[in-house]
Structure 1
Amino acid sequence: MAGLTAIFLAGPVLTQTDPGTASGEEEEAIPFALPQSGPFTPAEIEIDNDQAISDWFRSSHANAASDAFSHWDDDGEIRAACATCHSGEGFRDFHGLDGTPAGVVDGPINVGGVVDCGTCHNAGLADITEITFPSGLVHPVTGVEASCLTCHQGRSAGIDVAEATSGLADDEPNSELRFINPHYATAAATWLGGYGAAGYHYDGQDYSGRFFHARPVASCNSCHEPHTLEVEFEPCLTCHLADRPEDIRIARQSYDGSGDTSVGISSDIERNADTLLGMIRDYSDEVVGAPVIYDGTRFPYFFSDANGDGVIDTAEGSPVAYQSWTPRSLRTAFNWKLVTADPGNYAHNPQYSLELLYDSIMDLSAPLGIDMEDLQLLR
């Protein structure tokens, strides 16, 4: 090792005369560890996918400081139940791409990971042919679809709400009921619609299935640039006249009772979602007699306000989770959260989103004494 150190510190090494050199002359040989053109400058090295890496690095998939990837830092490892989608290492573990059994995260999964290149570019993705959704649906996938649909399907479905409330009286609070969270960024669940059965489906109602767009738009990458994750809006202009995706209408009728068809369908969804949340509050206050406050910044989002002063109750310095759920309020709150958890619901499956909101509003209208015709909503 001492000899190697001397090579690096002493500079060029003298070698024996090469047959092509003059007698008595010696040529210099650059140590193999140093570049011939030196000094080494990373910026001068050409990388074929440099732009893709730069785009990914600035995307939310690579933001290691975000709560999506740093939430478990103090724990020292990511919980197995969360690791599949909150770490590339966990994703590969779950699908058996690291040589472990598929279908389970064996762990432990290290903190600090993100949705890395190996999450979407692993050669083993070609062997994944189906993804199971929380509803029990087994959906066929090809290639990188496995990555998108694994992590954007949510973690609960309407069937979980149905099982939790089975046999219980619609309007009687049950202290054993807890809010069932569909989770975040549920684009795939919205996209598959009634076929995917992500929402709570009411008996006797039909629900729109998977949202089939124009023929070129058949996958996540059809609309989203895979590295920046941004929506490529220009192809939309082939058929739609709008300044941004949110302004696309797709319908000639008003679903929110406003009669305004000059705005995008996203407006109808947003207004109906606001109506539903307001009715959930009114129902909890007037029918159940236990006011509720929603705070989207902290789990479990719905909190107690026993005295109705508009301030979340606390106990030992912590907010008190709402514990007066009835089957009716639980299923409507689940559908509301599912729809609003997907900020792209207006593009992924607007009809399914509107159907879930309408049916949930109708569910609450009876105990609140509201005439659905007065709301002038369309399903």
Structure 2
Amino acid sequence: MFFKTKNLVTTTIALGAFVSVLSFAAVSQEQAAPANSESSEIEEIEKALAPYVMPESGPFRPDQIEIANKAAIAAWARSAHADARSESFSHWNEDGAIPPNCATCHSGEGFRAFHGLDGSAPGLPEPPIPTGGVVDCETCHNPGLSAIKEVKLPSGLSHPVAPGEASCITCHQGRAAGVTVATAVGEKDEDTPDKELRFINPHYAVAASMWLGGYAASGYHYPGKEYSGRFFHARPVSTCVSCHEPHTLEVSEQTCMTCHENAALDDIRLSRVSFDGSGDVKKGIRADIAANADRLKGLMTAYAAEVAGAPMIYDGHRYPYFFADMNGDGRIDEVDGRAVGYNAWTPRLLKATYNWKFVTADPGAFAHNPHYALELLYDSIEDLAGALGQDMTAWNLQR
């Protein structure tokens, strides 16, 4: 109703008066207003309604409603967080609902339910969570975020957070950790394929876990090795929004230029050490990480065929990403038209593959924590190279 009323009779009278006024205004305008009158029909109606006190619910003139933060909203609308058509938010459309463990990060409604920001008890949201949601404004601007003091990571670590970090770290931590891999392989023989083993996916966009490094232990840590902890970069560059514009998500290269003479992201280098053995220290550190990741992937493929005895093919566009190629023809095996997932995992192969996927799942690893990324790659390369009988020293890699 347009009017604040106490009962049905009052409502009926008020509504009748409202209709009469509108009719009177329309007739008056048609009969009395000259053709060249500057008054519009809406203005005449506004004058006719002037004696009435309207509630805050309307009616409204859309052109008179001020939109606060319109620039921020427009920036957000262009970002990946708002893209309802992307796989991140449309994957479950055909199912009609999002599984609770996925809804936490793939729906604003699920996120608020997980942290109890909707008035419910914190924890996995109660199904069903409807599709169509995105990372909306309230995911990051809900006043209740100030009450979240820590976020639990896949390794079991509870990391203290400020209100501005809670959203980022909740959803960019991945869904597995080194302990997940260690638990899966247990005391199994390192080089014996085991049908019970399956690929463990760290998920994707694991920027927060990469940033926290060895402290969060989201990568698989080889026994006897030490790993770099949280990457503090250069303070005050200490949080996600220190570098990322919070609405567009774009990296502000102006921030990089504060310390880096050449702020082109691909050219930034933090060390004069050639980690990939090329001897080229003029290229960016991103290139070293990519080169070592490619080397590790090659070793994974060689190990699968030569040690595990079952060739493997990677396809990053469909889960579970790693597939069988038993006849070695370079094509994924199929049964009844369906791709056959790789099923000859050994503990050694699973550990290295997990680390490869963890590092490559964060395209910003070179900025979030290059040291940790390089350490995980180096140790995984070293482990597979030993099993393949290859002399790693010839590659001049540096940890």
TM range (shorter): over 0.9
Task: Write the distance in 2 (CA, Å) between the matches of 1:234 and 1:80.
Answer: 39
Aligned-pair CA distance for 1:41:
4.7
- Residue of structure 2 equivalent to 1:257: 277
Letter in 1 for 2:87: D
Letter in 2 for 1:30: L
Aligned-pair CA distance for 1:243:
4.3
Cα 1:95–1:12, aligned 2, differ >3 Å: closer, same or farther?
same
Q: Paired residue for 1:367, among 369, 387, 396?
A: 387
* SS of corresponding position for 1:139: strand
Q: Does the Cα contact within 8 Å between 1:83 and 1:105 map onto a contact in 2?
A: yes
- Residue of structure 1 equivalent to 2:246: 226
Task: Write the distance in 1 (CA, Å) between the matches of 2:341 and 2:135.
Answer: 31
Q: Paired residue for 1:108, among 128, 136, 152?
A: 128
Aligned-pair CA distance for 1:124:
0.4
Cα 1:281–1:6, aligned 2, differ >3 Å: closer, same or farther?
farther
* SS of corresponding position for 2:163: coil
Q: What TM-score comes out, normalization by structure 1 length? A: 0.92
- Residue of structure 2 equivalent to 1:19: none
Matching of residues 203-352 of structure 1 within 5 Å? 203-352=223-372
Q: Does 1:30 align with 2:49?
A: yes
* SS of corresponding position for 1:78: coil
Cα 1:128–1:28, aligned 2, differ >3 Å: closer, same or farther?
closer
Task: Write the distance in 2 (CA, Å) between the matches of 1:126 and 1:239.
Answer: 32
- Residue of structure 1 equivalent to 2:25: 11
| Number of equivalenced pairs | 364
Ranges in structure 1 where 5+ consecutive residues have no aligned partner: 15-26
- Residue of structure 2 equivalent to 1:134: 154
* SS of corresponding position for 1:11: helix
Cα 1:310–1:8, aligned 2, differ >3 Å: closer, same or farther?
farther
- Residue of structure 1 equivalent to 2:182: 162
Aligned-pair CA distance for 1:253:
1.1
Calculate percent identity across the aligned residue pairs. Answer: 58
Ranges in structure 2 where 5+ consecutive residues have no aligned partner: 1-11, 29-45
- Residue of structure 2 equivalent to 1:21: none
Task: Write the distance in 2 (CA, Å) between the matches of 1:30 and 1:78.
Answer: 47
* SS of corresponding position for 2:323: strand
- Residue of structure 2 equivalent to 1:66: 86
Q: Does the Cα contact within 8 Å between 1:137 and 1:196 map onto a contact in 2?
A: yes
Q: Does 1:87 align with 2:99?
A: no
Matching of residues 183-198 of structure 1 within 5 Å? 183-198=203-218
Show CA shifts across 1:77-113 (max 9, x none).
Answer: 1001100000000000000111111122223211100
Aligned-pair CA distance for 1:13:
9.4
Q: What TM-score comes out, normalization by structure 2 length? A: 0.88
Show CA shifts across 1:252-275 (max 9, x none).
Answer: 110001111111000000000000
* SS of corresponding position for 1:144: helix
* SS of corresponding position for 1:351: helix
| C-alpha RMSD over aligned residues | 2.0
